[in-house]
Amino acid sequence: MATEVLVGDSFTDAGNNPVADYIAVWDGTAWSGLLSGGTTGLNGGVRALALQGSDLLAGGDFFNAGGNPLADFIARYGLTRVYLPLVTR
């Protein structure tokens, strides 16, 4: 079973990867961008991450997420690789 960690903040180039800006994925070996082969579509820092089903919600200091002029401060990404729960009670 694969395990990945998603992180968000005001960083750019996580692990020296130029597409790992603001949200990055750690696979246990290297950092990568959230989307395969591309950027997250954000132009500012991430302050909060949440999961809603298989969607990742990101909130932060960005405008026009994914190039959408109506997508300010919150973005939603459809994830196909969610392995939850990470913590069980």
Instruction: Average the pLDDT over 62-71 and give the result.
Output: 83
The residue behind tokens 């997420």 is 65
Tokens of 18: 């130029």
Percent of the chain with pLDDT over 70: 81
The mean pLDDT of 58-82, rounded to a whole number, is: 82
Tokens standing for 33?
């961008």
The H helix count followed by the E strand count for the chain is 0, 6
55: β partners = 52, 78
pLDDT tens, position by position, 13-51: 999 988 888 988 898 899 988 876 666 678 899 999 998
pLDDT band, very low/low/confident/very high, at 75 (cuts 50, 70, 90): confident
**Has residue 11 got a pLDDT over 80?**
yes
